[in-house]
Amino acid sequence: MLSAQPYVPTSYLELNAKSKPAAPALIDGDRVMSFEELRERVHASAAALRDRGARAGEVVAVSLPSVWE
């Protein structure tokens, strides 16, 4: 019997970036971001948070403008 696995949103991103890195992940008009590019941006954002003292398991609030970029 399979046991339920916890939901980890980044695992889907990693899976898609590995299996189809050039496929579109986000489309906004003429701007297309591939799964690999999105993965790189997510990892860069995570690294920036770690550099500022955030640690695994901590809650972090981020205020951003209302655009996907």
pLDDT in tens, the chain (69 residues): 667 777 776 688 899 999 999 999 999 889 999 999 999 999 999 899 999 999 988 888 888 888 766
Residue 12 pLDDT: 86
pTM for this model (two decimals) = 0.73
pLDDT at 67: 75
Taken in order 14, 19, 21, 26, is the CA torsion positive or negative? negative
- pLDDT value at residue 10: 67
Length in residues, the chain = 69
Structure tokens at 17: 């970036």
pLDDT value at residue 41: 92
- Report whether 10 contacts 25 (CB < 8 A): no
